[in-house]
Structure 1
């Protein structure tokens, strides 16, 4: 979904669309997985792992583990969704 990244409007998966809605972990994971598939720097094998967790305070976090296509190193990103 375009307009997700303010400095490059055509770029982005559309996670801001989930702000203010009940957490739908499967939908958030699907958006992240789709966007990762477009990234040349993310190895397809092994496939990235994505975990989406909803906290009791209403905040949702995504954790992404992937292999960097250039270095072969496993990378982990963890971030709030919608902030």
Structure 2
């Protein structure tokens, strides 16, 4: 599968957990792997109400032909007074 096919399917899969606000899928910019995915991405959801327990299904799941895992970090950004 091409990197863009994986990107599309990964975004569609993440939309099941909440509305995706920002999705950064990183690629190699130079060298022999130029244009290939680096193997990780960053996802921001539009609300805090993400289905957290279901997100843990990302540990060791298969998408198309590749095995994936997730390291989930919950960051709450608020106003500092």
User: TM-score of the superposition, structure 1-length normalised?
Assistant: 0.37
Name the structure, 1 or 2, with higher relative contact order (CA <8 Å, separation 6+): 2
Max radius of gyration: which structure?
A: 2
Q: Structure 2 length normalisation: TM-score?
A: 0.38
